[in-house]
Amino acid sequence: MKFTKMHGAGNDYVYVNCFEETVIDAPAVSRYVSSRHFGIGSDGLILICPSDVADCRMAMYNEDGSEGEMCGNGIRCVGKYAYDHGLVSKTQITVETKAGIKSLDMKVENGKVISATVDMGEPELTSELPEKIVVAGKELEFTGISVGNPHAVYYVDDVSSLDLERIGPSFENHERFPNRVNSEFVQIIDRGHLKMRVWERGSGETLACGTGTTACAVAGMMRGLTDDEVEVELLGGTLWIRWDRKSNHVFMTGGATEVFHGEIELPEELQA
């Protein structure tokens, strides 16, 4: 199977061009290639597929093989791959996802996409503002936001001091979220600058999460804690989020990087 390794702000996936390749068991392939010791190493697998309703379709699978609705960092890389590898010839494209059709506006330098702005659509409040919750015996507050997939945003004094490997599973698998949840831990530096770490359902802590960054920014905006345009500092880089209240759409801007491409021989039972 031919593949391309790409990342957006350190949120890395294995990308497969399904205009040319066939993947017969995407969840199993995702688990296989995502292993950082026995596979390629990634936060999951993203398939770039033909679409009847958009320029292409993105199918996204987490490290544990579960399918995600959307990936903000991943979709920027889908746009970059599609343009750089000739699947599209325009810089404004649409991508079909399980969370609906998303629009991308890509910035090109020297014939290659270096960044993209994604219309993340309309955010949906899924909790009280805020809602109390008890996790591992400790009472906390979170704000629930959906931008195609579910997020719970928690405000903390210092994101650097969190032991997410230890506490993350308790947040992801809390009974309040029967389908599990992505958990964002946010430190407000000032009204235009946030620091965030994320525990993603199915993948654990990742260096960045585009939908999570969008959720944490919107949560702060809804609660009046930040301006309507913020810079969010993540372990893997920086993303910029803008909420247009008039249209109720949120826009995310960030980079997209191709790391390398190659070919991997899958186990016989996973070969097409």
In the block, tokens 């491409």 appear at: 261
Contact at 8 Å (CB) between 8 and 208? yes
In the block, tokens 């599209």 appear at: 88
Cα distances from 9 to residues 13, 53, 234, in angstroms, run: 11, 28, 8
CB neighbours (10 Å) of residue 80? 26
Phi (first) and psi of residue 6, to 5 degrees? -140, 160
Phi (first) and psi of residue 200, to 5 degrees? -90, 135
Angle between helix axes 210-222 and 72-84 (nearest 10 degrees) is: 130
Q: Which residues are catalytic?
A: 71, 209
